[in-house]
Structure 1
């Protein structure tokens, strides 16, 4: 057995980086049992989401007493049996979201005293048993969002005993009333009731919400402020009412809600609403945050917020502002000194004008103008915010950025200009941004980077230029970036990269993203210096998915200089061939992926990983591998994760497994592993406990659906195949040796017995036949045909004898053998006209043999021999069968003397007329010659 000992589970995968955390998603499980049955009892987290479970039986997870997180989301659960979670005394998080639960019944959560978070979101939940949640004494978060609950009172009854509950989410239900019901637990600080049908708040006791700090009643269609009058809202710190047609000021007049606790977003403010809000909020104390979202604001005039208290954050998102001017003009002197965050997202701003020096917002450090329609930014547009650190201008329509638009922002550390329409960057655009650390220019239309365009960004660490139209990088494009660590150039149109481009950042660059460009190499040799030869500190290089057909060739020394590289991504490149020395400089590499190259690369060359002694993660999924060899994988002693799914592997060599002592995770899914003796060791390998093999019990034997690697019969692999092969082949060899000998020595004997058998069969079916079609069958050789047709046939047929002749009476189309047999058995006698030609004829010999068989079988004289020529014993010795017949049977000799011929015909006719019996033989014998045994002359 190899040094590496794996294990696996039928329906689950253990997280390779987090031990005892299991995923069993999308396994078509209709109950937890198939997943839980083979998991270790010390399992900590279990994800069973995206299956088809309908019911949880009692004690379904009792085998996992250490389970702390259980995810059952996206199933079809409609029933939780009492005691379904028995044994899970340390469970802390339970997710039942996106199921079909209609009720939470009593006893469903028994033994879950340690549970702190329960998610039952998006179920058709209509009822909650008053005692269903009582066992959850440590519950802090309860989410029933997206159900069909109709009243808060029912839920209040169910949660009144939960002394630790801090958050209750009932958004997106069908709540129409808050009561009647008991007060909510004193520990409950956050109550979310958004997206319901609460038009009135009647039925709730004044004390019901007295402990709540954050109350969300958004999108409930509450139109009457009087509905809040009976409620105790004094202790609420934040009340969200967006989406309700409420008069905010009437609400403040009627209820006891404090103005600073009310979120004015989405409320009816009237023509002078902002001014009125500021008057209500005015106080010597500074206001932490003012939100005026969804208020339909079209414009803010000069000093529009001057009556507001001192603000820390101002949020004007989701309005219809088309211009804002210089934000400093909206505030009075005292306010200008305290504002820190300005957010104006999802408005209709079209431009940012120039703001000359003068009044400033000295503490403003964060501005967001995302999701607007800004086309241009004028010079010194942010001069009012000299302390600005974060500026978000992304997701606009920005086509022109003035050279001096960002002038004066010496403290800016993050600038987002992504998802705009910028085409050009100027060398002086970023001159004043000496503190900038992150610059995001992703998804614009930049096609050229001029030299020194980033001059002055001495502190920049992250530059994102992904998703642009760059085709070429000038030699000094990155000049002036001495601290650049992360460079993203993905999804551009780069045709090549040069080492001179990266020379200015060689001492600091750690991450380089070049994926989805147009890099192509058609030769195994570079025609210029290696592109990364200066990047000795680079840690992460992404080259996957080059367009349009992938990076098909990696030239010699392509990665030369990357002595510190740790992660390399080459997936989705359709590599046709990988040279053995291509990775020889990457001695520090620990992550490598070549996945999804099956249309190009196949088996890897020997020695390709010989210098990757530190490699820990290797992804070779869907690369077309046919075999694993020691020459390829023999030096990966530190490898921990190996992905080989969707390859053409039929075997996994045990010698390779022995050379991977650090392996912890192996993925062989969808490989056509065969049930052969080469894979017998896998059965024992899969029953140990060191390396996780993904779904090992699903590995079928190639195309055989019902045969599995873990259980196929291996007994044949341990038999003495040599003995069985000898026993099987020796008889065949002997038979092949004997057949020619038997054929040569006993061909006619075998053929004779074969014909005898056929005759016996035919005679058996004719045994009861009493009448004959012919008086005689005439057997002769074609050489004697003239005598037969001119003398024998005329003479006998004149005597009323019916003769059977070959040429006249045989049935056309039938086998000759069948015709002969029928002729013999349908004739009373058989006349054999014997001559030297007759003796040499195989067919004549066969006819004599068949007639002899009938003679022996019927025991009557049916054979009449006529000798046309004198045949000596010496001549007969070669025809022993005919000699035996002539020695034992009476025969007639054709006389040459014409005077003796009438007697010959009389005897022949008499022989044909006589039936059975000794008298016939005696009379016939008186006029014939009958040789004795041993006579020399016939």
Structure 2
């Protein structure tokens, strides 16, 4: 219908609602000016070019006027002044380039104004200053001026701004530092970048001044993702939507300032993991949507940190049908609190042979039958063995060596008892090479020269080519006694330590007095504390001290001979 003829609806003078959408009207029908009881007029999707001052001359009762989808180029103030009771005005999708003085006429009852999809390059929000009852404002522009005027719009709840691309858009947004929207009235802020993405840094500056109380939406915004400062001034935010953006790296710090968040939509944002939610402190979150992202593996542990979650939508993600998702699959099937929207229709994208199959059809039992449990047990045992080996090497290696040598001595003693071979030597002399001079100068002349003993000395009587430890064992068990010539050098020698250990075992095994201790130096007991076995022997057995017998060497050697 290209025209509504004059008089066509004149007789319906008490008409309250008129809908003439989706026609080819080029002007406002003449009969409308006579509908004094008309409250709702819908003329969407026509080809109206202009509004005359007489079009609404008598429609003072009109409350809702929908003119979206026409070709209107301007709105005159004389048109506005005829609509004092208007509460909803939709002028979206027209050709308006400027408002001029259109809204300088106070529309005290106007609550909703939509002017998106109009080629307005610069929108001066000061033009709306008289709209004191305005609650919802939808605008689109390349540049906003005087947005501080929104502070005077005390009832403004919802502000939606469509941002068209502009070469110096970032510079224009940087001027928003003067914006001061009344934070007590504004509940919702929506920023939508059209045609091409808008820089996120600019939006951050905008958000730090325009502070929505409950809901923030940003669509088609790219750049560095929000950080911990972005929502610092909106601590009561309950709904957050960031879609069609590149949130490849989402940091949990972004959510810490908004602990009361109940709804989160991060769809179409290329997110690869949900692990950031574990530290985000979103205990009040009920609604979570991440559709059309890049999630292939979902860690089911994440949902333990979302105790209030009741709705989850992960549709259109490239899920992997492997054991990595076994926990998530079991969670989807078994949890009773959270509704997983269309979970039964999630499809596999990887591996290629399973592409197109359903995620929930994946048999998670195979994850426990493929040896994974055995691998777990084996790896655990390996770790425990490694730790035990490290502990033994650092703290018990000498005890193990000692035990090994004692065992060898035990076997040797058992063989000797069977053969019952007589002792080859009267005494085996255990000493350090640093004390060799004293042995040759003082001991040998007395014990071998005067008393006729046959002594076993390692440098003289050990069999060449035979393992040292066997030579030591043969010497100790092939002698009636073992004489240990003890000095500080002796205590620090590893081989001397082994010799006295062997002799100690023979003492313990045979229960005979086969060990004689000769101290060449005065060594306090506290200095023997690192040498636990030596200190134990000194405390239990009588020993001979050369420094104390220096004035009476004859008595000293008589005491040495006494055990024989």
Indicate the TM-score class for this superposition, using the shorter chain for normalisation.
0.5 to 0.7
The answer to whether 1:601 aligns with 2:251 is: no
- Which residue in 2 is equivalent to 1:405? 55
**Partner SS for 2:302:** helix
- Distance between the aligned counterparts of 1:377 and 1:644, measured in 2? 45
User: What is the Cα deviation at residue 660 of structure 1?
Assistant: 0.6
**Partner SS for 2:126:** coil
Equivalenced residue count is 372
- Distance between the aligned counterparts of 2:346 and 2:328, measured in 1? 13
- Distance between the aligned counterparts of 2:265 and 2:348, measured in 1? 22
RMSD: 3.8
- Which residue in 2 is equivalent to 1:713? 367
- Structure 1 residues 662-673: aligned runs within 5 Å: 662-669=308-315, 670-673=317-320
Relative to structure 1, is the Cα distance of residues 385 and 625 closer, same or farther in structure 2, using a 3 angstrom cutoff? Answer: closer
- Which residue in 1 is equivalent to 2:337? 690
- Distance between the aligned counterparts of 1:632 and 1:523, measured in 2? 37
**Structure having the higher Rg:** 1
Looking at secondary structure, tell me which structure has more helix per residue.
Answer: 2
**1:248-277 superposed Cα distances (whole Å, 9 cap, x missing partner):** xxxxxxxxxxxxxxxxxxxxxxxxxxxxxx
User: What is the Cα deviation at residue 488 of structure 1?
Assistant: 2.3
- Distance between the aligned counterparts of 1:372 and 1:647, measured in 2? 41
- Distance between the aligned counterparts of 1:603 and 1:649, measured in 2? 13
User: What is the Cα deviation at residue 532 of structure 1?
Assistant: 6.1
**Partner SS for 1:570:** strand
- Structure 1 residues 663-812: aligned runs within 5 Å: 663-669=309-315, 670-673=317-320, 675=322, 681-682=327-328, 684-686=330-332, 687-693=334-340, 694-695=342-343, 700=348, 702-703=350-351, 705-706=353-354, 708=362, 710-714=364-368, 716=372, 718-723=376-381
**1:50-108 superposed Cα distances (whole Å, 9 cap, x missing partner):** xxxxxxxxxxxxxxxxxxxxxxxxxxxxxxxxxxxxxxxxxxxxxxxxxxxxxxxxxxx
**1:313-356 superposed Cα distances (whole Å, 9 cap, x missing partner):** xxxxx6x866315854xx5xxxxxxx3xxxxxxxxxxxxxxxxx
- Which residue in 1 is equivalent to 2:6? 324
- Distance between the aligned counterparts of 2:367 and 2:147, measured in 1? 58
**Partner SS for 1:401:** coil
- Distance between the aligned counterparts of 1:723 and 1:369, measured in 2? 80
**Partner SS for 1:553:** helix
User: What is the Cα deviation at residue 627 of structure 1?
Assistant: 3.2
Q: 2:80, 2:102 within 8 Å by CA — same for their partners in 1?
A: no
Q: 1:675, 1:701 within 8 Å by CA — same for their partners in 2?
A: no
The structure 2 residue matched to 1:591, chosen from 239, 248, 265, is 239
**1:437-487 superposed Cα distances (whole Å, 9 cap, x missing partner):** 111212210011224525231111121212211221124211221111122
User: What is the Cα deviation at residue 555 of structure 1?
Assistant: 4.5
The structure 2 residue matched to 1:619, chosen from 259, 262, 265, is 265
**Partner SS for 2:208:** coil
Q: 2:90, 2:114 within 8 Å by CA — same for their partners in 1?
A: yes
- Which residue in 2 is equivalent to 1:488? 138
User: What is the Cα deviation at residue 664 of structure 1?
Assistant: 1.9
Where in structure 2 are there 5+ consecutive unaligned residues? 387-564
Q: TM-score, normalised by structure 2?
A: 0.57
**Partner SS for 1:560:** helix
- Which residue in 1 is equivalent to 2:110? 460
Relative to structure 1, is the Cα distance of residues 616 and 547 closer, same or farther in structure 2, using a 3 angstrom cutoff? Answer: same
- Distance between the aligned counterparts of 2:384 and 2:247, measured in 1? 43
- Distance between the aligned counterparts of 1:390 and 1:697, measured in 2? 43
Relative to structure 1, is the Cα distance of residues 524 and 398 closer, same or farther in structure 2, using a 3 angstrom cutoff? Answer: closer
The structure 1 residue matched to 2:165, chosen from 500, 518, 521, is 518
User: What is the Cα deviation at residue 655 of structure 1?
Assistant: 4.9
Q: 1:621, 1:647 within 8 Å by CA — same for their partners in 2?
A: yes
The structure 1 residue matched to 2:206, chosen from 558, 561, 569, is 558
Relative to structure 1, is the Cα distance of residues 419 and 722 closer, same or farther in structure 2, using a 3 angstrom cutoff? Answer: closer
User: What is the Cα deviation at residue 646 of structure 1?
Assistant: 4.2
- Which residue in 2 is equivalent to 1:259? none
